Amino acid sequence: MADMPSGRLSALTAKHTLLRSTLGIGFGVAVAVGSMIGAGILRSPADVATQLPVPALFLGAWVVGGLYALLGANALAELGTMLPCSGGQYVFVRHALGPYAGFLVGWNDWMSTCGSTAAVALVAGEALGTLVPRLSSQAVVIASVLIALTTVVLYRGVRESDRTQQLTSALKAAALLALVIACLLARATGAVAMPASTVPRIATPAGIALAAAFITALQGIIYAYDGWTGVLYFSEEVRDVGREIPRSLFLGVVSVILLYLLLNIAFLAVLPLPVLAASPLAAASAATAVFGPRGGTLVQGLVVIALPSAIVANTLMASRVLFALGRDKAAPGWLSTVNAGGTPGAALLASSIVAGAFVLSGAFEKVITICAFLFVASYSISFASVFVLRRREPHAPRPYRAWGHPWTTGVVLAGSIVFLGGTVIADPRNGLIALGLVAVSYPVYRMFLKR
């Protein structure tokens, strides 16, 4: 598709796919909420508080991460409406920069999304093991079963996928808002006293150390916000691309920014910052402060309710990337087959198998760090694609044009590049692992090209 006129892209694709255009804004917002709000918001507050032990810096980092997602949504909404094909950022980059760049972004996106599926499933498995003591040592098994059950439901068809995503995302939002309300009410009514912190106060970094700490904190925050591109993975399955893709992107991002800020404010309302920094699961510590010893159990139940929507969203997104790769022969062609329900069944099964392999590794923190790097690398190339296509195809139909371009797109592109450089400096080992995965992509691409 890289050498085809963009205005004909949708018509060309329609001849080669059986994907159905049945999804609306409800699904678009639900898949954004489902994919963004996952394990990251449950684990990242402690890491952010450790790096930035001042409430203003702590909350400010979450605002910066949200603005990054919002500016990114503004830029990629243009590409999503200009090139309405399912497959996410792979579609944009292949069209703008050629087959290898698309291959690189597509495979990075697919691998990191499968890794996110595994990470979320592992957290859900740990939570269920806490609720049921007999399963306490079976987190890996539980995570594998959750992925398998999700795959069975989604394989049935797009209609079932739509309903499942909207239902699980609504349950998640309701559960998290209930926790926010409980914390804020407890503080307002004096029903909870801020516990005395026995944890030593963390020194606030300054100068270069503060900049490094901010970048390190943003690793977890960007992972927590990742997924704002959700609806772009289903562009040709959306009924009204010009209206519903931009609205889904902006409503999804703004909703999650507000919810993340409310959650972190709620945590700070019932926990001193040093206690929050020492909490492996901030929500559990906050609930314990409000409800007593049973608070931890309640939050584990919340996790079990909240995380299935993230498993659903990431599994769906990964399948669309692999489907698009298969359709363009950047992966085996059989991965582009679509079943009677409108689901790319082979790509769905392959994605779930790889997510299961990530689960078996059990390395949640390493998955987060490497995924965050790969996510931002893909974003950087996608943002650059906006500039390329504005120059190369200035008259191509664009139902939505990025507001403030080139300044807004330039800011988010520059921020991505700074983040990538800072990540390699602050965390060279995992940064080099991510770069190694990128390097391996070229011989793999050449192999597919020869075949």
Residue 2, in any domain of the structure: no
Residue 131, in any domain of the structure: yes
With tokens 């314990």, the residue in question is 288
pLDDT at 199: 53
Tokens of 449: 């090209």
Residues 80, 235 contacting (CB under 8 angstroms): yes
> pTM, whole model, 2 decimals?
0.86
- Closest alpha carbon to 140 in 368, 352, 357, 369: 357
- Rounded to whole angstroms, the Cα distance separating 145 from 134 reads 16
pLDDT at 220: 79
Name the domain count of the chain: 1
Q: Is 20 helix (H, G, I), strand (E, B) or coil?
A: coil
What's the burial of 170, exposed, middle or buried (CB within 10 Å: 0-12/13-18/19+)?
middle
Residue 408, in any domain of the structure: yes
pLDDT at 92: 94
Residue 14, in any domain of the structure: no
Residue 7, in any domain of the structure: no
Tokens of 441: 């992509």
Q: Is 238 helix (H, G, I), strand (E, B) or coil?
A: strand
Tell me the residue range of the domain where 98 lies: 22-450
Residue 121, in any domain of the structure: yes
pLDDT at 365: 55
Residues 119, 364 contacting (CB under 8 angstroms): yes
What's the burial of 349, exposed, middle or buried (CB within 10 Å: 0-12/13-18/19+)?
middle
Residue 4, in any domain of the structure: no
CA triple 9-14-18, angle to 5 deg: 140
pLDDT at 367: 58
User: What is the tens place of the pLDDT at every residue in 40-62?
Assistant: 787 788 888 888 888 889 999 99
Residue 16, in any domain of the structure: no
pLDDT at 247: 95
Cis peptide preceding 406, ω within 30 of 0:
yes
- Rounded to whole angstroms, the Cα distance separating 28 from 244 reads 8
Tokens of 337: 């087959």
Helix axes 407-426 and 428-450, enclosed angle (nearest 10): 110
pLDDT at 411: 93
pLDDT at 6: 42
- Rounded to whole angstroms, the Cα distance separating 74 from 403 reads 7
CATH of the domain at 422: 1.20.1740.10
Segments of the chain with pLDDT less than 50? 1-16
